[in-house]
Chain A
Amino acid sequence: MPKIKLAENTIQLIKDTCAEFGNKESELINVLHQVQHKLGYLPAEVQEVIAKELKTSVAKVYGVVTFYSFFTMIPHGENPISICMGTACYVRGAEQVLAEFKRQLKVEVGESTSDGKFSINCLRCVGACGLAPVVTVGEKVYGRVAPSEVKKIIAEYREGCAGDDAKSA
């Protein structure tokens, strides 16, 4: 992965966040939550700054980041699509819905489209099992999704760049 140079104010933001938690190593997870919330993801360079501030090794920070599925080292797409793969959604056909999203967007789970517009992720149970299978795009929840509706959902977010739409669809 190519190195990215963090802007001065980004570094300051990370340092401030660490300071908020008293630069304590035991607050690592809380720090990561906050930083990811602000920056969207946790690339290696960000982890280096955090490790330095909390006076711990980068290996330890990396170990924690990769352990928990909530933390990501890759930025999400502009419209992050999550397909619920909880059991309730699975038995009601979530697998086919996921396959259709992958087919339409030509990306795998955990990846973003080349234009950065969409990314696909799986999640385990949003707790709206009555609406299974469930798909979320950003904050919006779509319930009882059929594979045939996938195209329509994607189109909702493609509006405004109709030219691209025609080419890739």
Chain B
Amino acid sequence: MSDYKMHLLICSGTGCKASESEDIINSFTSLIDEFGLEDEVQIVRTGCFGFCEKGPIVKVLPDNTFYVRVSPGDTEEILKEHIVKGRTVQRLLYTDPVTNENISDSKGIGFYKKQIRIALRNCGFINPENIEEYIARDGYMALGKCLAEFTPEETIQEIKESGLRGRGGGGFPTGLKWEITRKSEADQKYVVCNADEGDPGAFMDRSILEGDPHSVLEAMAICGYCIGADKGLVYIRAEYPLAIERLKTAIKQAREYGLLGNDIMGAKFNFDIELRYGAGAFVCGEETALIHSMEGLRGEPTFKPPFPSVSGYMGKPTNVNNVETFANIPVILNKGANWFNKIGTEKSKGTKVFALAGKINNVGLIEVPMGTTLREVIYDIGGGIKNGKEFKSVQTGGPSGGCLTKDFLDTPIDYDNLIAAGSMMGSGGMIVMDEDDCMVSIARFYLEFTLEESCGKCTPCRVGNKRLHEILDKITKGKGEVEDIERLRVLSSVIKDASLCGLGQSSPNPVLSTIANFENEYLAHVNDGKCPAGQCKALLKYEIAEDLCTGCTLCFRNCPVGAITGERRQPHFIDQSICIKCGVCFEKCKFDAITLT
């Protein structure tokens, strides 16, 4: 990157691509051409910067200026003002919501201040389609070091000492897993990367694969060297077309550079990687189900033991790790286990990537040291709750996790604390909810998901979750009774106890945690026929207060179903038989004349 005077780093992750970052790149390319700056300014198409809320993001180097929410129409001003004249375009900078000051350097933005980026170290810095940029940032150095200086046993020892635990959700010690697979004797072994990110609302793995695919390939090769495998497979969702393309490119380049294939770095070590596509089944995140899916079968889990480390893909010992786990490996080997294990808490080392989303100001991808509190994540990094509303709950662990209340805001986040609090780490989805979110509806939403995704093998999961969903649905429609709450509890514990795999064992968690933390809300539904959050439509009624209505016709004009009638300057009325309770009138009314009961 050194010959150019300036670099324009433009995010081309899925989120920013969806908001026209490709047009921004094209526009800059033609402008640079027009101004004859081809030799001075280079455009770098990077992976995700993480700050998706403010995307598309354009970063200018060397001065590190961070432009947010850039549109294709802004490119000319950036070029003429910033690149040609050296003047920052103030209106495109991030404005600190508290001080109202424009911040030019991303390091000064609250969103980035408390983050430590290990797994995401290269995302947003390098062009993921150029292997040389990865190599320039110490890429493939860890692999070289292992092949030249360390035995497989020594490498495994280093990983064990680092304290790294699986980032896919379970938290199993990675080094130990490698050691077990190494000790399994067989003529053929496999390294599998689990990139079947099915948790709705989580996009960590996708961003790593899109932004830094080589870090995963390098780690898989290291794993192959350690366990004695010459073949790696990435099981990736077919719904991630961009990540698949970037991986394909990365694999091709690594082969050309002799970093995959036969006799890697002249060390008589062979290793190659192929892709396998998922087809949309959440249960395939479970390793035995994933392996069956790779074999062309229905992705149904099977009983463990035997563990995949002993008998996995095609009946051979198979080491399955998640994308984020792999992305940590090269850094650990470059900087040493003793550097890594100083970050984090006693039992959870290093950092964790979270996809922070929901009712929060700064939606995005973040990486924080283990032990950071939920409060720091939600308020310092996330910038607090959207529209000044009140925080109600944070959901971690996706459909397997639970909803935590404000009582847990100061709990340091690590594997064990989250489980103790009735939730779990999961793969790293973190959804923030505010006062307008009904917890019964949220539980129903998650059950609807597990209901669809249950593979159907175990009756408690297949039938039990269906019944849970029916009861929850009944409650949200105002037809529940107080005994239903106990029914939910009992049924949940049966499903947890009697299901074979992690999906069934954890599917009632959203129900149990919402009952434990928000029982009053359940009671309000069943006893008073009220939804305190005002979300359950069957329990709502919108009405116009005659004395407050000025007859401005705003509600009349915005009602999508024509349920509102009335003359200009006269009070309006809502026909309850037509009203679909979408709430548009309520939002649009400037005179607070519409009430919700």
**A29-B277, A71-B279, A87-B357 are contacts. A131–B298 as well, Cβ < 8 Å?**
no
Q: Residue A69 at the B interface, CB < 8 A?
A: yes
B190–chain A nearest beta-carbon distance, Å: 14
Q: Residue B136 at the A interface, CB < 8 A?
A: no
Residue of A nearest to B13 (CB): A127
Would A129 and B355 count as touching, CB distance under 8 A? Answer: yes
Partner of A148, one of B201, B295, B395, B558: B558
CA distance A115 to B582 in the complex (A): 28
Q: Choose among A125, A127, A134 the residue with the greatest number of B CB atoms under 10 Å from its CB.
A: A127
Residues of A within 8 A of B363 (CB): 88, 129-130, 132
Would A92 and B359 count as touching, CB distance under 8 A? Answer: yes
**A70-B238, A129-B203, A141-B18 are contacts. A124–B281 as well, Cβ < 8 Å?**
no
The B350-374 residues at the A interface (CB cut-off 8 A) are 355, 357-359, 363-364
Residues of B within 8 A of A134 (CB): 18
**A63-B298, A127-B15, A128-B15 are contacts. A88–B431 as well, Cβ < 8 Å?**
yes
Residues of B within 8 A of A68 (CB): 278-281, 299
CA distance A26 to B358 in the complex (A): 40
Pull 14 A–B residue pairs with CB atoms less than 8 Å apart, ordered by A: A33-B279, A68-B278, A70-B239, A87-B395, A87-B398, A87-B429, A87-B445, A87-B446, A103-B580, A124-B282, A125-B201, A128-B15, A130-B54, A130-B55
Q: A87-B431, A87-B445, A91-B359 are in contact. List 8 more A-B contacts (CB 8 A).
A: A64-B296, A85-B200, A87-B446, A90-B445, A91-B358, A124-B200, A127-B240, A148-B584
Would A91 and B280 count as touching, CB distance under 8 A? Answer: no
Q: Residue B560 at the A interface, CB < 8 A?
A: yes
Would A129 and B580 count as touching, CB distance under 8 A? Answer: no
B476–chain A nearest beta-carbon distance, Å: 11
B116–chain A nearest beta-carbon distance, Å: 22
Would B431 and A130 count as touching, CB distance under 8 A? Answer: no
Would A126 and B239 count as touching, CB distance under 8 A? Answer: yes
Could you tell me which B residues sit within 8 Å of A by CB distance? 14-15, 17-19, 52-55, 198-203, 206-207, 238-240, 276-282, 293, 295-299, 355, 357-359, 363-364, 395, 398, 429, 431, 433, 437, 442, 445-446, 449, 452, 455, 558, 560-561, 580, 582-584
Would A128 and B239 count as touching, CB distance under 8 A? Answer: no
Residue of A nearest to B282 (CB): A124
List the 7 shortest-distance A-B pairs measured between CB atoms, nearest first.
Answer: A130-B52, A127-B203, A68-B279, A88-B357, A141-B18, A86-B200, A87-B201
Residues of A within 8 A of B584 (CB): 147-148
Residues of B within 8 A of A57 (CB): none
Residues of B within 8 A of A86 (CB): 200-201
Residue of A nearest to B558 (CB): A148
CA distance A75 to B245 in the complex (A): 25
Q: Residue A39 at the B interface, CB < 8 A?
A: no
The A80-115 residues at the B interface (CB cut-off 8 A) are 85-92, 96, 99-100, 103
CA distance A128 to B21 in the complex (A): 13
**A25-B296, A91-B358 are contacts. A30–B15 as well, Cβ < 8 Å?**
no
The A20-34 residues at the B interface (CB cut-off 8 A) are 24-30, 32-33
Residues of A within 8 A of B55 (CB): 130
Would B200 and A125 count as touching, CB distance under 8 A? Answer: yes
B311–chain A nearest beta-carbon distance, Å: 16
Residues of A within 8 A of B446 (CB): 87
On chain A, which size bracket covers the interface? Answer: 35 or more
**A88-B431, A99-B580, A132-B357 are contacts. A67–B52 as well, Cβ < 8 Å?**
no
CA distance A52 to B554 in the complex (A): 63
Would B18 and A131 count as touching, CB distance under 8 A? Answer: yes
Q: Choose among B429, B560, B584 the residue with the greatest number of A CB atoms under 10 Å from its CB.
A: B560
Would B238 and A33 count as touching, CB distance under 8 A? Answer: yes
Residues of B within 8 A of A151 (CB): 560
Residues of A within 8 A of B239 (CB): 70, 123, 126
CA distance A131 to B203 in the complex (A): 13
Residues of B within 8 A of A26 (CB): 295-296
Residue of B nearest to A66 (CB): B298
Would A64 and B298 count as touching, CB distance under 8 A? Answer: yes
Residues of B within 8 A of A29 (CB): 276-277, 279, 293, 296
Residues of A within 8 A of B580 (CB): 99, 103
Would B15 and A131 count as touching, CB distance under 8 A? Answer: yes
A141–chain B nearest beta-carbon distance, Å: 4
Residues of A within 8 A of B293 (CB): 29
Q: Residue A143 at the B interface, CB < 8 A?
A: yes
Would B296 and A131 count as touching, CB distance under 8 A? Answer: no
CA distance A126 to B241 in the complex (A): 10
Would B203 and A125 count as touching, CB distance under 8 A? Answer: yes
Residues of A within 8 A of B445 (CB): 87, 90
CA distance A37 to B33 in the complex (A): 38
CA distance A134 to B296 in the complex (A): 32
A27–chain B nearest beta-carbon distance, Å: 6
CA distance A75 to B407 in the complex (A): 49
Residues of B within 8 A of A128 (CB): 14-15, 18, 52
Would B279 and A32 count as touching, CB distance under 8 A? Answer: yes
Partner of B357, one of A24, A129, A141: A129
A96–chain B nearest beta-carbon distance, Å: 6
**A128-B15, A130-B53 are contacts. A92–B358 as well, Cβ < 8 Å?**
yes
A40–chain B nearest beta-carbon distance, Å: 15
Residue of B nearest to A54 (CB): B296
